[in-house]
Chain A
């Protein structure tokens, strides 16, 4: 009844296509997550230490991104982002170029993730006892050195649960790129299912792949949290 040979890795089977889609999904999730972390660190510092205007602008960014569905944001950023870039390129005399789908996907996921990680990191930084930062300042550390040696490592135990959630959201948000016609795991699965009519088999296979990513990530983030919390009293 179940045609397992459809999942074979070489061309009569579709397994190779699915794994390629998985690889693309992971590239986008990883790139978008890192971009989101950078935006989040900037956003969190802007919200905590910036002037009133910076703070309000950051507030607008996080509020808008968190209120509008990811699917709609992806469409807007995808069209507006590529359009703006092309206009910029033509205005400085270079011809319009085809934006790499991978780069566009990473940008889109990154901007969405940035808003969420801003909130996670802001909460984590606020949870650092103030004395630790004062101590760093008393030792004569410059703000950048304080950031690198004290603030970022000290906030990590508070941030990791939130960051691990964000990573799982990033891996699942890559599925939305299927709607704008970008071939990642979910769209590859639908193509395979549409061609062979074995929808159940392929969607379940893709589900297992996503689930494996989730379970493996949970283990890795659990280890990272154990390491980041070393020396701190356990709360369980």
Chain B
């Protein structure tokens, strides 16, 4: 494929041009801060995805089988989360809830206060709710999509409702929801930089500080874009590997 070679050469020339004509001397000085930033971004990503997923399972389940008020509540939660910008949610939780807490003496004196004085619990909470809102819809579809016959078979074996949920319904639903998890994780990674607006130090915040310190406009931003592209690439490849190890097709 000669045109590919040409394009690769062009891209290499562009990269060489950027590397030679732009200023990169700040990189070594900030490399440790950048690594810490990447670590915080990943920490936020995985902990919010894990907590959000745990929250999404009941959200999906009550929408399929729960009593009507609970089901409406879950549906309303998903609609509100998906219908408003994440930035607004983060600011509501940080400025709104965060400004209420100091007024309550019980919270100020509790063991949680040293954490609640910082910004990251609010960021993590907002990201978790957001992930739960989007993944809750996926889990609703996954619970509804488990073939009726499998559940009937479980009932015919005399399983109780909770045994059936634990042994058949939940595993089969998670199995069906896994392929969409890849895309959801990439979306979640792309929403993590928003927590930098409430002073959480992730990789985006580190780059914003570099831009303030060095007065450089483009170089740190281009570097940041490269970092996110690498992280996305690693996520996509890793999930593809795991997906291939889990047989998802119901023959």
Contacts and interface: CB of A to CB of B under 8 A. Distances in A.
A71 B88 contact: no
B88 A53 contact: no
B84 to A, nearest CB: 5
Interface in A196-232: 197, 199-200, 203-204, 206-207, 210-211, 214-215
Contact of B1 (A52, A176, A190, A199): A52
Interface in A41-79: 52-53, 56-57, 64, 66-73, 75-76, 79
Contact of A56 (B3, B80, B87): B3
Contacts of A53: 3, 6-7
B92 A210 contact: no
A203 B84 CA distance: 10
A179 B194 CA distance: 9
Interface in B163-192: 186, 189-192
Interface size grouping (class) on chain B: 35 or more
Given A67-B232, A69-B190, A76 B92 contact: no
B222 A76 contact: yes
A210 B84 contact: yes
Contacts of A64: 225, 229
A175 B88 contact: yes
A64 B11 CA distance: 14
Interface string B228-250: 11001100000000000000000
A65 B86 CA distance: 19
9 contacts: A53-B3, A69-B190, A72-B193, A72-B204, A72-B224, A175-B87, A186-B88, A193-B95, A206-B84
B73 interface: no
Contact of A200 (B96, B191, B224, B233): B96
